[in-house]
């Protein structure tokens, strides 16, 4: 017997990331030689959870009220300004002048994505996702009453597949009269791919083309890993700058994650940032999305907002140095992975930076089971396995490559 509603009964998790992660943690606690390459969090070279010192300091300096009192639904003015400065950096004044910005504090990047799907797609319509993607997008879409289709992220040369992207946005425009598309860049989850400036020009031109007749288009820019771009802050901001060039009917919604940028995973704090071209679209963004925020989670963590505000203002320079260190941890692991993969003839998808690498294989579930028997926990995804570099040490990277190469 089920007491669920008929809608409730359709809710089955597709991915099993959380279960595999929990199993891996248990196994690691019993035997430290187990490699847990499932966790999307940053660990240091001693195998310890990485905590930013500036985050700790900021948290300790907050009063009870600053930590625990109710905040406003959309977030405090100080939080909004701190995030704007961090995200737009040297281009903030330009953005304020040329576009209409708004921001809503959300429980993580997830809250921002889910608010966006819920308010910019009609019931049953499809969001466009890359074929290699963070699998939770599909669940967020279902929860928002939508479905999805995918474009091919890579062409045969391993470069961004602009023609597949164009084909799908045009088809969706015809089919549903609107286009909502997610791009997770830079350091895409699960591949670690980062789009080039010219890839972005292609995307911006294509979205402008599709919206020339005023078709509503929403670019959901999932910037969860932006601060781990090995090309540095400027390169990703130069790409973002292209969002100023959108037509009036293209809305960019940037989804910021406090989990990844500041290591505040469990605190659940992020932001949904509107970059609109018109006052009307900005106003309706605030109206509908604050309504959803109030109706779904009421308000986002005051503690999270105040930690972020303090770190990005009072401790700005020190935090930038810590981020640099965190980035370097990933770069060293990635360089070693690439070198070892070459030595072991292990093919992986194009990787530039970030938390994960993806290795295509047949029957990923069976491969994952086999790896587990050899003490390596990874995540099977569609047509591939995902190895998390952020949670394993350099010596574990080397061992992981050897185990995988022998197994597949
Ligand atoms: N986007 C991507 C690509 C992710 O990998 C994640 C988390 O793993 C998120 C968004 C959301 O993270 P959070 O809701 O913790 O900010």
Q: How confident is the model over 178-192, as pLDDT tens digits?
A: 999 999 999 999 999
Residue 298 has phi, psi (to 5 degrees) of 75, -55
Shortest-distance atom of ligand 1 to CA 40: 8
Residue 222 beta carbon below 6 angstroms from any ligand 1 atom: yes
Q: Taking a C-beta distance cutoff of 8 angstroms, is the pair 350, 193 a contact?
A: yes
Q: What is the pLDDT of residues 200-232, one digit of tens each?
A: 999 999 999 999 999 999 999 999 999 999 998
Is 252 strand, coil or helix?
Answer: strand
The pLDDT of residue 15: 65
Pocket test for ligand 1, best of 138, 223, 224, 270 (most atoms within 8 A of CB): 224
Asked whether residue 379 is domain-assigned, the answer is yes
CATH code where residue 388 lies: 3.90.1150.10
Would you say residue 166 has pLDDT above 80?
Answer: yes
Is 109 strand, coil or helix?
Answer: helix
- Compute the distance between CA of residue 180 and CA of residue 106 in angstroms, rounded to an integer: 20
Would you say residue 325 has pLDDT above 80?
Answer: yes
Ligand 1 geometric centre to CA of 314 (Å): 26
Asked whether residue 57 is domain-assigned, the answer is no
Long-range contacts of 395-400 (CB under 8 A, 24+ apart): 396/35, 396/37, 397/333, 397/336, 397/337, 397/340, 398/336, 398/340, 399/35, 400/35, 400/37, 400/376
The sign one gets for the Cα dihedral 72, 94, 215, 186 is: negative
Pocket test for ligand 1, best of 39, 105, 110, 132 (most atoms within 8 A of CB): 110
Shortest-distance atom of ligand 1 to CA 110: 14
CATH code where residue 117 lies: 3.40.640.10
The pLDDT of residue 234: 83
Q: What is the pLDDT of residues 327-336, one digit of tens each?
A: 999 999 999 9
Average pLDDT, the chain: 96
- Measuring from atom 12 of ligand 1, which residue has the nearest CA? 109
Ligand 1 geometric centre to CA of 254 (Å): 13
174 and 227 fall within a common domain: yes
Q: Taking a C-beta distance cutoff of 8 angstroms, is the pair 249, 211 a contact?
A: yes
| Stretch (H or E) spanning 220 | strand 217-222
Q: Which of 314, 344, 367 is the last residue of a domain?
A: 314
| Tokens encoding 386 | 């995902």
Q: Which candidate, 400, 406, 357, 343, places its Cα nearest to that of 377? A: 400
Q: Which candidate, 185, 170, 177, places its Cα nearest to that of 216? A: 177
Residue 33 has phi, psi (to 5 degrees) of -80, -10
Would you say residue 197 has pLDDT above 70?
Answer: yes
Residue 40 beta carbon below 6 angstroms from any ligand 1 atom: yes
Residue 259 beta carbon below 6 angstroms from any ligand 1 atom: yes
The pLDDT of residue 178: 98
- Measuring from atom 1 of ligand 1, which residue has the nearest CA? 224
| Tokens encoding 302 | 């005051």
Percent of the chain with pLDDT over 90: 95
Would you say residue 285 has pLDDT above 90?
Answer: yes
Q: How many residues make up the chain in this entry?
A: 408
Across 3-12, 90-99, 294-303, least confident range: 3-12
Q: Taking a C-beta distance cutoff of 8 angstroms, is the pair 105, 74 a contact?
A: yes
Reported as a pLDDT band with limits 50, 70 and 90, residue 39 is confident
125 and 201 fall within a common domain: yes
192 and 257 fall within a common domain: yes
- Measuring from atom 6 of ligand 1, which residue has the nearest CA? 224
Q: Which candidate, 200, 171, 188, 221, places its Cα nearest to that of 356? A: 188
Q: Which of 296, 314, 332 is the last residue of a domain?
A: 314
266 and 336 fall within a common domain: no
Shortest-distance atom of ligand 1 to CA 255: 10
Pocket test for ligand 1, best of 189, 220, 358 (most atoms within 8 A of CB): 189
Asked whether residue 58 is domain-assigned, the answer is no
Pocket test for ligand 1, best of 15, 42, 109, 188 (most atoms within 8 A of CB): 109
Average confidence (pLDDT) over 344-360: 96
Domain that holds residue 132: 69-314
322 and 304 fall within a common domain: no
Residue 184 beta carbon below 6 angstroms from any ligand 1 atom: yes
Q: Which candidate, 102, 133, 314, 320, places its Cα nearest to that of 224? A: 133
- Compute the distance between CA of residue 251 and CA of residue 218 in angstroms, rounded to an integer: 5
| Tokens encoding 50 | 């990485």
300 and 362 fall within a common domain: no
Q: Which of 281, 314, 347 is the last residue of a domain?
A: 314
Asked whether residue 62 is domain-assigned, the answer is no
Asked whether residue 359 is domain-assigned, the answer is yes
Number of domains in the chain: 2
Average confidence (pLDDT) over 136-146: 95
Residue 189 beta carbon below 6 angstroms from any ligand 1 atom: yes
Asked whether residue 61 is domain-assigned, the answer is no
213 and 107 fall within a common domain: yes
Would you say residue 235 has pLDDT above 90?
Answer: no
358 and 246 fall within a common domain: no
- Compute the distance between CA of residue 347 and CA of residue 359 in angstroms, rounded to an integer: 6
Contacts of 356 (CB under 8 A, 6+ apart): 40, 189, 190, 191, 192, 386, 387, 388, 389, 390
Average confidence (pLDDT) over 128-143: 96
Ligand 1 geometric centre to CA of 42 (Å): 13
337 and 309 fall within a common domain: no
Eight-class DSSP state of 43 = B
Asked whether residue 60 is domain-assigned, the answer is no
The pLDDT of residue 233: 83
Asked whether residue 199 is domain-assigned, the answer is yes
Would you say residue 117 has pLDDT above 80?
Answer: yes
334 and 306 fall within a common domain: no
Helix pair 162-176, 197-210: axis angle to 10 deg: 20
Average confidence (pLDDT) over 127-148: 96
Would you say residue 321 has pLDDT above 70?
Answer: yes
Would you say residue 260 has pLDDT above 70?
Answer: yes
The pLDDT of residue 19: 84
Neighbour count for residue 102 (Cβ, 10 Å)? 19
Angstrom CA distances, 157 to 148, 153, 184, 350, 401, stand at 26, 11, 20, 10, 24
Q: Taking a C-beta distance cutoff of 8 angstroms, is the pair 355, 189 a contact?
A: yes
- Compute the distance between CA of residue 259 and CA of residue 98 in angstroms, rounded to an integer: 30
305 and 198 fall within a common domain: yes
389 and 261 fall within a common domain: no
- Compute the distance between CA of residue 4 and CA of residue 376 in angstroms, rounded to an integer: 37
| Tokens encoding 158 | 């391993």
| Tokens encoding 256 | 């910021």
């Amino acid at each position: 017997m089920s007491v669920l509603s008929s809608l409730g009964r359709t809710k089955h998790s597709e991915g099993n990331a959380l279960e595999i992660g929990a199993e891996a943690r248990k196994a690691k606690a019993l035997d430290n030689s187990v490699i847990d390459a499932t966790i999307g969090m940053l660990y240091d070279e001693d195998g310890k959870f990485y905590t930013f010192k500036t985050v700790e300091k900021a948290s300790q300096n907050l009063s009870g009220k600053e930590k625990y009192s109710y905040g406003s639904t959309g977030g405090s003015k100080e939080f909004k300004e701190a995030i704007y400065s961090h995200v737009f950096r040297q281009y903030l004044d330009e953005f304020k002048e040329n576009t209409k910005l708004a921001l809503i504090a959300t429980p993580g990047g997830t809250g921002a994505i889910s608010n966006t799907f819920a308010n910019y797609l009609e019931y049953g319509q499809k969001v466009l996702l890359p074929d290699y993607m963070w699998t939770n997008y599909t669940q967020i879409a279902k929860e928002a009453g939508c479905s999805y289709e995918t474009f091919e992220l890579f062409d045969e040369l391993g470069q961004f597949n602009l023609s597949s992207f164009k084909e799908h946005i045009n088809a969706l425009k015809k089919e549903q009269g609107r286009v909502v598309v997610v791009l997770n860049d830079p350091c895409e989850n699960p591949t670690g791919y980062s789009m080039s400036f010219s890839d972005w020009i292609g995307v911006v031109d294509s979205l402008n083309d599709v919206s020339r007749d005023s078709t509503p288009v929403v670019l959901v820019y999932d910037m969860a890993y932006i601060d781990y771009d090995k090309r540095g802050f400027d390169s990703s901001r130069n790409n973002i700058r292209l969002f100023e060039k959108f037509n009036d009917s293209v809305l960019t919604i940037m989804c910021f994650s406090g989990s990844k940028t500041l290591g505040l995973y469990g605190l659940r704090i992020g932001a949904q940032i509107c970059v609109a071209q018109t006052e009307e679209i900005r106003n309706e963004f605030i109206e509908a999305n604050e309504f959803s925020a109030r109706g779904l989670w009421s308000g986002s963590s005051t503690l999270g907002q105040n930690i972020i505000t303090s770190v990005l203002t009072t401790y700005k320079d020190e935090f930038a140095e810590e981020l640099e260190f965190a980035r370097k941890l990933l770069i060293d692991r990635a360089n070693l992975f690439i070198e070892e993969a070459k030595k072991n003839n292990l093919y992986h998808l194009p990787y530039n930076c970030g938390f994960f690498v993806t290795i295509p294989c047949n029957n990923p579930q069976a491969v994952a089971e086999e790896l587990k028997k050899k003490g390596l926990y990874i995540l099977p995804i569609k047509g591939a396995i995902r190895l998390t570099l952020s949670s394993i040490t350099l010596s574990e990277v080397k061992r992981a490559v050897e185990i995988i190469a022998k197994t597949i």
